[in-house]
Amino acid sequence: MKFYKEIENNRAEEIDNNKLSNRIFVDLYYNVPIQKSYSLILEVTAFYDFNSNVKPHKKVMFNYSATLGIDIPNTALKTIFKYAKGQNGISYQSNDYFMFWIHD
């Protein structure tokens, strides 16, 4: 659970920045090993803000992601494919993206 006070923000909604707010949230993380070189990571965050002036929707908001990591054999390269979707816990903006990342 988080307790916080709004300061300045970029939200389009008009809110009282001095009002105390609180949020309950749940984070779930699950790592699924797949053979020797692969790993699938599933993450979900759900949250609900009790301050009716802050939350733009009167419902539970969430975001989730699925990440597939691959160790390329006989090299130092690691590759990650990630898909994420949902609301950001700070600005409540919704996003949906796919990311591909290679590093050595």
Is residue 103 very low, low, confident or very high in pLDDT (cuts 50, 70, 90)? Answer: confident
Instruction: Write out the two tokens for 84.
Output: 């994420």
pLDDT in tens, 74-97: 777 677 899 999 987 766 778 888
pLDDT at 22: 74
Mean model confidence pLDDT for the chain: 78
Is residue 44 very low, low, confident or very high in pLDDT (cuts 50, 70, 90)? Answer: very high
The count of other CB atoms within 10 Å of the CB of residue 54 is: 20
Instruction: List the domain range (segments joined by +) for residue 28.
Output: 2-103
The 3-state DSSP class for residue 38 equals: strand
Give the C-alpha separation, 37 to 96, whole Å: 27
Residue with tokens 């009790």: 50
- The beta-carbon contacts of 7-10 under 8 Å, at least 24 apart in sequence, are 9/91, 10/91
Which region among 26-30, 34-38, 43-47, 65-69 has the lowest average model confidence (pLDDT)? 34-38
Number of domains in the chain: 1
